[in-house]
Structure 1
């Protein structure tokens, strides 16, 4: 299963739309937003992309609580299971314990893909391109024996999308 991951979109709705379009084009079957959504329009993009999704509140998202019932918004830490894989989703990296197969987080605006003790810790980086001159997001492909992570980057004022891939062997306990 392919899971598209975005985070820290902030007010950059067009950048969020570009990232989502590429994830859908590349076969994402589910979308995760790791917080700091900020704009209602970004939630609408998630809802309207044609895929199931989940989005966690970030530290800049309190104003979105009024739309909680209209979108699949969750509070951190949020545990869920898809593709026979247990996930923990949060924005703030405060719950970094290996109590899931995959821990997805945001907030730092820095891409991170680290496999420790059979847990993948994954931050897709910032879509908003606030801290650096690139927008970034990720695709996680889950198989029974491996995790494949694709890190996407797009420089501001460029149409080129760069990709870097990471592969991790996993023990799968069913």
Structure 2
């Protein structure tokens, strides 16, 4: 299964459109969003995804009822098991909570957002993945990630250039 991963879209509709276009081009089977959509009108671009979208709330998602109705987001933490990989998805506002998930070693992949900095790192048996920010407002780099559960590979891609920013085999 090829999973597209995004976070911190912060209402940047042109950047969201670019991410959606890339995910559709790569024929992802699922898209995970690690929070901070911000407003329900992001549905305009996210509804163009060819794959299902699952996501969690972030700290800037103030209009939660609207987001729930518009795109179905309804939780702060999602646990998934895909092709034998145990995955947890959260925004990561509270670093103590993120670290607790990592230290638990219950997950193969811990996906988080919030920092706006892309990252792939191994901690024990867990891979910590932050796809960075789609919006590009903080770091200046618009990025998304791909998790291939069959090939057991993760890559982070710059949305503006298409260049890889990070890669790891699981």
TM-score, structure 2 normalization: 0.85
Q: How many residues align?
A: 163
Q: 1:149 aligns with which of 150, 154, 157?
A: 154
Q: Per residue, is there more helix in 1 or in 2?
A: 2
Structure 2 residue 62 is the aligned partner of structure 1 residue 55: no
The offset of 1:165, in angstroms, is: 4.6
Structure 2 residue 136 is the aligned partner of structure 1 residue 135: no
* Alignment RMSD (CA, Å): 1.9
Partner SS, residue 62 of structure 1: coil
Partners of 1:6 and 1:166 lie apart in 2 by 16
- Which structure 2 residues correspond to residues 12-161 of structure 1 after superposition, within 5 A? 12-92=12-92, 93=95, 94-96=97-99, 97=101, 98-143=105-150, 147-155=152-160, 160-161=161-162
Partner SS, residue 74 of structure 1: coil
Q: Per residue, is there more strand in 1 or in 2?
A: 1
Partners of 2:162 and 2:48 lie apart in 1 by 23
The list of structure 1 runs, each at least 4 consecutive aligned residues, that deviate by more than 3 angstroms after superposition, is none
The offset of 1:66, in angstroms, is: 3.1
Partners of 2:17 and 2:79 lie apart in 1 by 26
TM-score, structure 1 normalization: 0.84
The offset of 1:9, in angstroms, is: 0.6
Which residue does the alignment assign to 1:172? Answer: none
